[in-house]
Amino acid sequence: MKAVLEDVRKAVFSINGTAIFIAVIGVLSSIVTIFVNTSADVSVKWLLLSITLGLYAMVILLKIAHDSIERGRPSPPFENPIRFVVESGIFVIRKNEHFLSNILVGCYSQQDGLERLAYIGVVDHVQPTLIQIRIQLDLQILATVPVGPEELKMLEIRPVVPFTAVQQLIRQGN
């Protein structure tokens, strides 16, 4: 239910949602002017104009407030992979300010409510909207590297690697 409400919130406060809302207000305003005789009483015409302009201003201010709140919200300290490129051993994640170029990251597998470090990777390439993470060490926690969307949701990539795992990486010579 929370995901549905989040999707509705994103749709309403998007540029398209705001434009659609303003268009609906315009259509409703024109329908009201069809059924209300605005020439008979001047105050009705000014009332409709002020209500319409007030609704436009309210929608625009709500959009500005929503966007400023979203910009102020920090990104989460983890990302779930979007896909895995088998040929090059790269996980692709969304851009996140916590993932800088050439840092070690841990890929944690979630199974039965427990998290276990499955892979150690390095941020290989940072793009404008995506980040590529190359696997450096497979800790053999999973039988195969997840490639399907549902399997990838079971992985969390974090910019944190335990010290013992770094020592194991050094021993392997990577």
- String of DSSP letters for 126-145: E-SSEEEEEEEEE-S-SSS-
Give the single-character DSSP code of 83. Answer: E
Instruction: Tell me the DSSP string of 93-162.
Output: EE--TT--TT-EEEEEEEETTEEEEEEEEEEEEE-SSEEEEEEEEE-S-SSS---SHHHHTTEEEES---
Annotate 59-89 with b (16+ C-beta within 10 A) or e (fewer). beeebeebeeeeeeeeeeebbbbeebeeeeb
pLDDT at 23 (0 to 100) = 82
- What residue spans define the domains of the chain? 2-72, 83-172
Instruction: Name the one residue in this structure whose structure tokens are 């949701």.
Output: 153
Over residues 75-115, the pLDDT tens digits come to 888 999 999 998 999 999 999 989 999 999 999 998 888 88
More confident residue, 116 or 60: 116
**Structure tokens given for 56:** 């436009």
Residue 122 has pLDDT above 90, yes or no: yes
Quick one: average pLDDT of 128-144?
A: 91
Residue 2 has pLDDT above 60, yes or no: yes
